[in-house]
Structure 1
């Protein structure tokens, strides 16, 4: 029988749901070297956590995440909580001898992220991965492969946009995502971090400096009846509270290879529910991706003969493409949830092999340093600000 990998998860809301689905699905479609065992889920409310455990397939539940650290049936701690808790839980888990998967962004500050990296480096026998799941969309993984193979030549331009609209209504109530103490930042860290990571992942380069602007369009919002419980729903009798994070972020940057990069992240782009757009232009071609058509990668080859040049629409569902050979027949597309399943596959294989996963905590720290540089630049009238480290 395949050896088990005991998993304890902290948090059972949106990301907890996605991760639970992935832990259950991965061994059904992929031949994993270890079988995930959903041992325990932790949450703040006993009744809701117990209900989540039953609904999502966990064997037990607890209201104290520290309980996971002492359990012999937990080998890996999966952190799906707001950013202000990431460092404490991850460091404690590593010190307790547990592998760690931590949702993005890695932390709420560079200092916290550095402490997490130090803890991971102090325990090289353990796997510590940050959950930038969009890397595992097959079309994105194919884009990375094409760039690494030199198909588009030297990178000259990169564009990363993440556009949502769920906060465009001023009546939308406060939630933890609008509280800087809990979330670290707004659209910048919540969704901008994803496109920062994607551009760095696809190009194989890092951002070296930024010039940025941040904006908060709605400064006060209704206080939800259970805002203290972070439910984000309800009515507190007309009371309002301050929004302490950014609603939108835009910045220019430079890649380590000399190319230029442009980024935009907003939760106020009406009509854009979850639009992630990445385009990379090189000396020999270009690639373009839009998550609203997530099974497609557009590829331009500058060496095509005259009269036949143009973007080629590649439907990324062939067995030769990353991850897709374990799923459906050619032409049957994948969805949002599959990236989390692929994340589990790569994580379990890394644990079994004793090899570093990607992205590592160090990769998460690099993104955190970019986020920090963006905030510092925006506070200094968009002054060009180097990415430290």
Structure 2
């Protein structure tokens, strides 16, 4: 992420279309710069790689929320646990490369914003229990990227959200979003299961219509948008998802998490 802003902006300014790997950037300022340069070059396509969590049911979930198919959301809970804190040292563990990015927090931030909207306010706390990892030469490297993160807040819609992210869970791997409504619970296990339980009932698989499912075709989407741009199609008619403006939205959330922790306060 630490190279994304410089490379993306240079490419756009050179007249190139840009597909940027996730996560967007290491800082909010870098992400905002990417968005401004993209806006100044509407003839070029700008796109970020989306998280697989948004596939394959995003269209169905968006439609279901709009139609209140599962009732009115009252609370959302995200649980993401794994043992990544014990994995070998990688660039993701180094703040000079990853910046604001923390484990799967940014991935779920983008997914949550796409489906339910942005946070109005949040508070967060985090810790780094595995304080040291060794590099390939056996040298100790101090860990600065959080490995346990708690976030609590309220979306602009008024729905309360609680998030728990852990990289020190050796015996439980979760990648789960739950929507508690006035009718029951919608449970989304990223990329694997979509389940619904009426109040007092058991969870059952949701049968999603074929026309509301979408396989991974991110690269094809980008290429299609580039071809349209080369044919002179206006940016409004060759939209990609996510673009840089959408990426800035989740980068604002990541910046708010750090600000909340650093200043020990609720961030609006």
Given the two structures, how large is their TM-score scaled by the length of structure 1? 0.62
Per-residue deviation at 1:135? 4.9
In structure 2, the CA distance between the partners of 1:179 and 1:342, relative to structure 1 (3 Å rule), is: same
Per-residue deviation at 1:242? 1.2
Name 1:151's counterpart in structure 2: 69
Q: Distance in 2 between matches of 1:211 and 1:135?
A: 24
Q: Distance in 1 between matches of 2:81 and 2:17?
A: 33
> Which structure would you say has the larger Rg?
1
CA contact (8 A) 1:178 1:245 kept: yes
Give a deviation string over 1:140-191, Cα, whole Å, max 9, x none: 44223311333234332112222221323xxx543221111111145x2x31
Q: Distance in 2 between matches of 1:251 and 1:176?
A: 24
Name 2:251's counterpart in structure 1: 368
CA contact (8 A) 1:134 1:140 kept: no
Q: Is the partner of 1:271 in helix, strand or coil?
A: coil
In structure 2, the CA distance between the partners of 1:180 and 1:97, relative to structure 1 (3 Å rule), is: same
CA RMSD of aligned residues (A): 2.3
CA contact (8 A) 2:54 2:111 kept: no
**2:132 is equivalent to residue 220 of structure 1:** yes
CA contact (8 A) 1:376 1:385 kept: yes
Q: Distance in 1 between matches of 2:198 and 2:226?
A: 38
Q: Is the partner of 1:147 in helix, strand or coil?
A: helix
**2:205 is equivalent to residue 313 of structure 1:** yes
Per-residue deviation at 1:322? 1.4
Contiguous gaps of at least 5 residues in structure 2: none
Name 2:149's counterpart in structure 1: 249
Q: Is the partner of 2:219 in helix, strand or coil?
A: helix
**2:267 is equivalent to residue 385 of structure 1:** yes
Matches within 5 A, 1:49-68: none
Name 2:12's counterpart in structure 1: 94
Per-residue deviation at 1:103? 2.0
In structure 2, the CA distance between the partners of 1:315 and 1:123, relative to structure 1 (3 Å rule), is: same
Given the two structures, how large is their TM-score scaled by the length of structure 2? 0.87
Give a deviation string over 1:265-306, Cα, whole Å, max 9, x none: 222121345x32011223455421113xx342113456xxxx
Q: Is the partner of 1:138 in helix, strand or coil?
A: coil
**2:93 is equivalent to residue 178 of structure 1:** yes
Q: Is the partner of 2:85 in helix, strand or coil?
A: coil
Aligned residues: 260
Consecutive aligned runs of 4 or more in structure 1 exceeding 4 Å deviation: none
Aligned counterpart for 1:359 among listed residues 227, 242, 250: 242
